[in-house]
Amino acid sequence: MPTVRFEGPDSTNPLAYRHYDADRVVLGRPLRDHLRLAVCYWHSFVMNGADPFGAPTIARPWMGGDAMAAARAKADAAFDLFRVLDVPFYTFHDRDIAPEGDTLAATLANTRAVGEVLAEKQAATGVKLLWGTANLFSHPRFMAGAATNPDPDVFAWSAATVKTALELTHGLGGANYVMWGGREGYETLLNTDLKRELDQMGRFLALVVDHKHRIGFQGPILIEPKPKEPSKHQYDFDAATVYGFLRHYGLEKDVKLNLEENHAILAGHTFEHEIAVANAFGILGSLDVNRGDPLLGWDTDQFPNDVPQLTLAFHEMIKGGGLTTGGLNFDAKVRRQSIDAEDLVHAHVGGIDVCAQAFLAAARLVEAGKLAGAVAERYAGWDRPGHAALGGSLEEIAAAAEARALAPSPRSGRQEMLENIVARA
Amino acid sequence: MPTVRFEGPDSTNPLAYRHYDADRVVLGRPLRDHLRLAVCYWHSFVMNGADPFGAPTIARPWMGGDAMAAARAKADAAFDLFRVLDVPFYTFHDRDIAPEGDTLAATLANTRAVGEVLAEKQAATGVKLLWGTANLFSHPRFMAGAATNPDPDVFAWSAATVKTALELTHGLGGANYVMWGGREGYETLLNTDLKRELDQMGRFLALVVDHKHRIGFQGPILIEPKPKEPSKHQYDFDAATVYGFLRHYGLEKDVKLNLEENHAILAGHTFEHEIAVANAFGILGSLDVNRGDPLLGWDTDQFPNDVPQLTLAFHEMIKGGGLTTGGLNFDAKVRRQSIDAEDLVHAHVGGIDVCAQAFLAAARLVEAGKLAGAVAERYAGWDRPGHAALGGSLEEIAAAAEARALAPSPRSGRQEMLENIVARA
Amino acid sequence: MPTVRFEGPDSTNPLAYRHYDADRVVLGRPLRDHLRLAVCYWHSFVMNGADPFGAPTIARPWMGGDAMAAARAKADAAFDLFRVLDVPFYTFHDRDIAPEGDTLAATLANTRAVGEVLAEKQAATGVKLLWGTANLFSHPRFMAGAATNPDPDVFAWSAATVKTALELTHGLGGANYVMWGGREGYETLLNTDLKRELDQMGRFLALVVDHKHRIGFQGPILIEPKPKEPSKHQYDFDAATVYGFLRHYGLEKDVKLNLEENHAILAGHTFEHEIAVANAFGILGSLDVNRGDPLLGWDTDQFPNDVPQLTLAFHEMIKGGGLTTGGLNFDAKVRRQSIDAEDLVHAHVGGIDVCAQAFLAAARLVEAGKLAGAVAERYAGWDRPGHAALGGSLEEIAAAAEARALAPSPRSGRQEMLENIVARA
Amino acid sequence: MPTVRFEGPDSTNPLAYRHYDADRVVLGRPLRDHLRLAVCYWHSFVMNGADPFGAPTIARPWMGGDAMAAARAKADAAFDLFRVLDVPFYTFHDRDIAPEGDTLAATLANTRAVGEVLAEKQAATGVKLLWGTANLFSHPRFMAGAATNPDPDVFAWSAATVKTALELTHGLGGANYVMWGGREGYETLLNTDLKRELDQMGRFLALVVDHKHRIGFQGPILIEPKPKEPSKHQYDFDAATVYGFLRHYGLEKDVKLNLEENHAILAGHTFEHEIAVANAFGILGSLDVNRGDPLLGWDTDQFPNDVPQLTLAFHEMIKGGGLTTGGLNFDAKVRRQSIDAEDLVHAHVGGIDVCAQAFLAAARLVEAGKLAGAVAERYAGWDRPGHAALGGSLEEIAAAAEARALAPSPRSGRQEMLENIVARA
């Protein structure tokens, strides 16, 4: 399949970019460097369409047969898709790229062996690793958690696994290392010592941070919040929860967040909210740009297709300074009925174009400055010289308030007018 | 109306306690001291049955007429209900007990004037104040927040208001002081500087904590988390979010939580989860024991009537050491169609009995020790002497794991068996 | 304020239409006739910004004072906004236009009296009535339902009220008559005879249909489904539920639906789903084009601002033949903090433009025919001549299936490719 | 394992019934005949603990190896559990009891072959079949629906499959036949002809009803509503939706409902609501007595453990005349971490006891008659002789209302008092 090219908004080619002109310079940088798009290994090359009520529907040539040979065939297919889409980055879990072995040692050896294949392919293609991570949730040994497992042997297994995945990520020049704790939570408090499990998770993260420094990995460790599913409750519920956790264990300097829209809405938040919270605490790392279905209670991991919604998210992202080591990762899968290989290409092409459109719209909002101006004007009273509100004690502020016979009069929040500005961008 | 008395489980009197035997000693203390039950002023004496689609349905003799005279009549009615129910505590907002005046000074004077009435009634009856709080959400001036308002004059107004309410609470011997930030949040990020608002809220809370120390108020300041409603997003989303906020502003030593079941489920949590989180971080203060409707998306503030659910909550409460300065506050209102005064009594009598039943069940669970034993046994591996998991670096743990050829085997979580133990209590 | 005009997409005038070119012909008709836009009386002229936690924030010149004089001033303001926006239609409840009187007779007289004012204004301006309705939910007498009230006197009151509102709608040349049953439901099954209440509601609706025929009203009666709020459960839960109800009482020929996006998502549906269901059963009447917040559990009634979402809804609307007597009613209110009169104009201008953009996009999808073609192709197997699947008995179909050694092979649903087609429109 | 016996509420044996005394006569019949408890094949003998993020955790002796031999071993295990629990009924899908073959004919032959094994076991043990059903959702051929599939060959395959399953159910003396349409719905309207699919589903159901009559099967066909999962939208959304569907296709005389609590809450309803709706339309068939988690958005299918909630459901069930051909089926699975065989027994023993407790409480409520009395009294006004509300035209009712100068006064709904009555049962 030929590489997908930018052909402009009037193209009738279903497999062309209409908006993603990678070299277009906006806000001082090419679009490519703003978006830092990444294809993920798991949904695109591992996902087989099984769901809780049905068997696999999707078969790919590299599925089945000898596990290590299949892993190499999968890597070939993956880098071919990266070429077709012309994306600069990819992401993986250790178990996406390499199979479980008979023992811990054999499993880690598999990871390292396929890692060498990936290193060669990166060198040959120029595609880079946005982040690596370890799958600490699929195998039954993790059913009661990895770091938070009641069995310390699972903690140790997880430690060895993350060490290898982090080192591989480092070796492959990965820009970040991600941790998603799908099983770090509980099914019922009746069998759970919540405080002990948080301590275990804090200790684990501290070990990883320490190791990152030891090996000289420059990128941040990123935690990916999700409130539930598969666990009844996951400890990394949302951005604010993870921030509290990091503060409790003194890790807020070394750890940032990888945020996802679908996880945000499962937690009751918009995507832009999670980004704004992360920015407020200085811990925004990277983004997963799938979309969820607000009417369904599970992670649907669909490709993005709503420009207005993503515009709001990217607006917050730009306001916070944009992505540095992070990127936009398509943690998105084709639907179970989209069984053709071509569906995978359509899905990414559409998603990439939606990201480009939304970013360009957000950039226009920032450049026009109307939103920023309206916000600044709204809080302008706080910047009056000599204002007493933030100085003095409660007593002093109260005394001044009574003395001045305060009578604050409400002012319009102008929400609809501001929404119109966004809609017009 | 006569005082409601304990008559035992076989009573056929609809207005008797079947389970709330205040003097019954369990876990070393009388039930009265474990539960520390409180009736709230707002729902019981102010709520008039209006909803977003309908006018008031509930009229009470003390509603209407001269505002200060009505406030005194309301206080009479309130202390009469406390007597009827034989509860040891009550709670209020400043605006529940006293009306808004024409100016800030007049309003604060009203608060203090009715405060004197309450002091007399407390002395006469022995009923005590569990906590006081200030209403910083009903008046239009607070429509864009109190501490987080874009207008610093509203911050100042709020500071004066809280100062007076805190001092009144102190004067009345209140055991805690509560802050609920219903308008401390946003409707749209488009007009909001989230970080600035968090800073304002942090500053405000620090001022209150400082004033508490200055006046010698011994009780804790309690924040009441709620994720949304009336705001689209409230900053005090849930227990974990507030903990992160307290850490960010260095207030975790002075501030605790007042948790509510209805707020918990709006945030996607069980009540017992919120209690367990607060215990893990050492910030459990007090509980609002209403119930919400998990199928409705707003605060229904119904009286509790599900013993199994409340048993789980009280079990976590007892595990964390039980209530000290806190209590169980009925932040609950009769339904809009329950327009008779008698409905108010039925509601509280039923709610009190449900609390008593649930506490007795939870206490039995604690005394039997089966749940605690099962949990201890589940994590027992961590207590093996010389276990390496928590010591050493990631490298050392990984090396040991590979060397030992770890093969952790999953063990049953036994959830159903543990649920049976609870069901049987 | 001058009338808002179409100035094209490049206009920088915040109060101009960029997309709503009323005379533009698309799919054979001017946009004005496709959209049939209507401003509602209640949110725009009655709503005062009160919410369950706060007092009114919005004051308008026509609020307060003598009730009938205020009603006339309100009518002046309403028709002035219709002129500013240049919309062809409006909608009202009887209680929006005229105040409650001291008695039933006085109340009905008020309705008729203001009706005469409206008739004059319609004649003078050419603005038409899309639909009228009666408010059977705000007054305390309706707290336990109107038609479904346990008290037959409330049923009778409601009958008289609807009779007057229907006759007024008829007299004003209204195109439809709407019924929304906000209190036709229950708070608890413990005090409810569900079957009896459904029978009462069926009887009531039959009476209204009968009266419509008697007076020669040509437009349809429309039921507006909503699942909950204010009631815990409302009988008109969603489109499918109302259809079953209409069939049960034999009213499916005379009654259609007025659907709303916010009500759809409260019921767990997309707006386009509700429209598709109504079309499948031949009962689509009219649409309320507000938007809800999928993360909040109540009716936020916001102005629409998401073109992609509304495009899907209008696509289903056009597929079903478009609106005939119905229209697009802005059952939307400015936010509680949007207290300036200008906010009302910004909100409608933005909403109208979003509707125009979405309709134009949906029309392009229909004209291009790619979606319709893909759907037709997907089911093409059913149109093979001589196909046995729909003919014959289960036995015959099964016998043929076994005989033919069926081995159906799954085909891609192509969802992402189809979503791209929509995104590009 | 010995058979579980009734030992009374004070038993300390974890595997004894404390409340389920099968022979205890209540409301004129033994508890066994009221409850008609059934164990399901799929969750208890097929479920392996896999979830969307994890591999199987549960291994049973009968899993793996030769498929037909495994099916026989599974049947042995199943009937042994029925004996241990002393339940009178069981339920199955065709694919639970027998494996897929290489062809349609081979698959149907497998079904029939294991059917003979089950017949022998039923005869030997006295355990009876509550209902059978066909799995039309797991195999990839059903990914786009069974009856509603765009491919008519899948309709034909499904027809043959249901014919065999229905005949087997008939042959085994099954009391009902169930249809659950997990894939009868859509993922996106963009590729769906909703009306055509409803017509296909109506036609399919009509064929099944016709075949039932042909073969002389006396039990009802039951549809099991579920709103979503696995499909984005399922056509059998809830009880009211299915009723409308049955009316549209003229099938309401032959088809009833199998209702489930977890499906109810996913649709936004309580379990008791769904039962009340089914009773109102005369289509209550049978119940699945699992529980869902109201804070999770998917089918958790947990064993029931909340007596107050189930009491309300059983109260509606008894009010509607109780179960006739239906029963209480444990469509419930042990948690993924409950990997021991013993967990399966604990789960059922607890669930059975909870059902017994709840039924006894509901029966006490019915016997006491207080709730029924309160309801009757509430609507008593409708029974006044000569009352005009339901007679006459709208005009006549309105005229009478005005003439009588109606002034209905609201009466308390007494919800809290009624809730206390339930809590005390």
The 10s digit of each residue's pLDDT in C286-332 is 999 999 999 999 999 999 999 999 999 999 999 999 999 999 999 99
Residues 6+ positions from C390 with CB-CB distance below 8 Å:
C382, D152, D200, D203
Q: What is the pLDDT of residue D303?
A: 98
Interface touch A343/C416, C-beta < 8 Å:
yes
**In the predicted structure, residue C387 carries a pLDDT above the cut 80:** no
Domain boundary among C325, C344, C368: C368
> Cβ of C416 and A338 within 8 Å?
yes
Among B148, B154, B158, B207, the residue to mutate for chain A (most A Cβ within 10 A): B207
Residue D11 lies in a domain: no
Selecting from C108, C393, C414 the residue whose C-beta is nearest the C-beta of D207 gives C393
Look at residue A137 and tell me if it is in a domain.
Answer: yes
Contacts of C156 in chain D (CB under 8 A): 388-389, 397-398, 400-401, 404, 406
Residue A129, strand partner residues: A90
Co-location of A342 and A407 in the same domain: no
Let me know whether D59 and D131 are in one domain: yes
Q: Which of D188, D208, D390 lies nearest to residue C394, judging by beta carbons?
A: D208
Q: What whole-number distance in Å separates Cα of residue A267 and Cα of residue B168?
A: 38
Give the distance from CA C67 to its chain's centroid. Answer: 29
Structure tokens at D128: 């009876």
**For A335-351, what is the mean pLDDT?**
98
Q: Running DSSP on this structure, what letter comes out for residue B325?
A: S
**C384 pLDDT more than 90:** no
| Chain B contact present for C350, CB below 8 A | no
Average pLDDT rounded to a whole number, residues A149-158: 96
Residues B74 and B220 in one domain: yes
The DSSP line for D236-277 is --SHHHHHHHHHHTT-TTTEEEEEEHHHHHHTT--HHHHHHH
- Residues 114..153 of D with a Cβ closer than 8 Å to C: which? 140-141, 143-144, 149-153
Residue of chain D nearest C273, judged by CA positions: D189
Chain C residues lying within 8 Å of A410, measured CB to CB: 57, 337, 339
C4 in a domain, yes or no? no
Angstrom distances, CA of residue B130 to CA of B133, B168, B211, B231: 10, 13, 19, 27
What span, in angstroms and rounded, lies between the C-alpha atoms of B315 and B368? 12
- The CA distance from A302 to the nearest CA of chain D, in Å, is 12
Residue of C53, C340, C346 for testing the chain B interface, max B β-carbons within 10 Å: C53
CATH of the domain at C171: 3.20.20.150
Mean pLDDT of chain D: 97
For A186, name the nearest residue in chain D, comparing CA atoms only: D337
Neighboring chain B residues of A400 at a CB cutoff of 8 Å = 156
Q: Say whether both A219 and A144 belong to one domain.
A: yes
User: In terms of domains, do C232 and C318 share one?
Assistant: yes
Instruction: Determine the residue of chain A that is closest to B282 in CA distance.
Output: A195
Catalytic residue among A96, A236, A238, A353: A96
- A233 is written with which tokens? 């409750």
Rounded Cα distance, A58 and A56, in Å: 6
- Least CB-CB distance to D51: which of A54, A230, A266? A230
D-interface mutation test, from C141, C188, C284, most D Cβ less than 10 A away: C188
Residue A12 belongs to a domain: no
Same domain flag for A107 and A153: yes
- Which pLDDT belongs to residue D388? 52
A244 has a chain D CB within 8 A of its CB: no
* Statement to judge: residues A385 and A356 lie in one domain: no
The mean pLDDT of C175-189, rounded to a whole number, is 98
* Contacts B143 to C, Cβ<8 Å: 49, 54, 57, 336-337
> Which pLDDT value is given to residue B391?
78
**Same-domain status, D311 and D415:** no
Side chain identity, residue B37: L
Same domain, D202 and D261: yes
CA dihedral (B242, B244, B247, B251) in degrees, to 10, reads: -10
Distance from CA of D172 to the nearest CA of A (A): 26
What's residue B405's pLDDT?
A: 87
Question: CA nearest C138: which of C166, C170, C107?
Answer: C107
Instruction: Give the rounded percent of residues in chain C with a pLDDT score beyond 70.
Output: 99
Inspect the interface and report whether the beta carbons of C303 and A416 lie closer than 8 Å. Answer: yes
Q: Which residues of D touch B422 (CB under 8 A)?
A: 305
**Beta-carbon separation of D422 and B268 below 8 A:** no
Catalytic: A93? yes
- Domain count of chain A? 2
Domain assignment present for C119? yes
CB of B338 within 8 Å of a chain D CB? The answer is: yes
For residue C198, is it within any domain?
yes
Asked if A75 and A165 sit in the same domain, the reply is: yes
pLDDT higher than threshold 70 for residue C388 = no
Same domain, D299 and D378: no
Measured distance CA(C170)–CA(C164) in Å, rounded: 10
Interface of D with C in 252-281 (CB under 8 A): 267-270, 272-273, 276-277, 279-281
Contact A232 D296 (CB under 8 A): yes
B11 and chain D: CB distance < 8 Å anywhere?
Answer: no
D93 labelled catalytic: yes
Within the 28-57 window of chain D, which residues sit less than 8 Å (CB to CB) from chain B? 57
Bridge partners, A407 (sequence order)? none
pLDDT in tens, C20-75: 999 999 999 999 999 999 999 999 999 999 999 999 999 999 999 999 999 999 99
Which band of pLDDT confidence, cut at 50, 70 and 90, is reported for residue C169?
Answer: very high
B296/C187 Cβ within 8 A: no
Give the one of D198, D208, D280 whose C-beta lies nearest to C194's C-beta: D280
Mean pLDDT by 10 residues, chain B (425 residues): 96 97 98 98 97 97 95 98 98 98 97 98 98 98 98 96 98 98 98 98 98 98 98 98 98 98 98 98 98 98 96 98 97 98 98 98 97 96 71 92 91 97 93
Which residue range is the domain that position D269 belongs to?
A: 25-368
User: Which among B183, C339, B145, C59 has a CA at the least distance from the CA of A379?
Assistant: B145
Which partners does chain A have (≥3 C-beta pairs < 8 Å)?
A: B, C, D
The pLDDT-based confidence of D386 (bands split at 50, 70, 90) is: low
Q: What is the mean pLDDT of chain C?
A: 97
CB nearest D374 (choices: C191, C394, C409):
C191
pLDDT bucket at C191, cuts 50 / 70 / 90: very high
Secondary-structure breakdown of chain D: helix, strand, coil percentages, each rounded to the nearest 5 = 50, 10, 40
pLDDT in tens, C84-94: 999 999 999 99
Considering only CB atoms, which chain C residues are within 8 Å of D155?
389, 397
Determine whether the interchain pair B303/D337 forms a contact, defined as Cβ–Cβ distance below 8 Å.
Answer: no
| pLDDT greater than 70 at residue D390 | no
In a domain, D45, yes or no: yes
Q: Which chain D residue has its CA at the smallest distance from C167's CA?
A: D395
- Predicted confidence band of residue C412 (pLDDT cuts 50, 70, 90): very high
Taking residue C109's Cβ as centre, other Cβ atoms within 10 Å add up to 14
> What is the pTM assigned to this prediction?
0.98
- Whether chain A has a CB inside 8 Å of the CB on D100: the answer is no
In a domain, C86, yes or no: yes
Helix intervals (H) in B26-93: 31-35, 41, 67-85
pLDDT at A391 over 90: no
Ramachandran area for residue B414 (φ above 0: left; ψ -120 to 50: alpha; else beta)? left
* C104 → closest Cβ in D105, D316, D402: D402
Among the residues of A260-414, which ranges form H helices? 261-266, 271-280, 307-319, 341-368, 370-378, 394-404
Mean pLDDT is lowest, of B249-258, C151-160, D380-389, for: D380-389
Please give the residue of chain C at the shortest CA–CA distance from B293: C232
Say if residue D72 is in the same domain as residue D182. yes
The pLDDT value recorded for residue D384 is: 80
Whole-angstrom distance, CA of residue D387 vs CA of residue D245: 35
Q: Which chains touch C (3 or more CB pairs under 8 A)?
A: A, B, D
Secondary structure, 3-state, D12-59:
CCCCCECCCCCCCEECCEEHHHHHCEEEEHHHHHHCCCCECCECCCCC
pLDDT tens digits, residue range D237-294? 999 999 999 999 999 999 999 999 999 999 999 999 999 999 999 999 999 999 999 9
What is residue D35's predicted lDDT score, i.e. its pLDDT?
Answer: 98
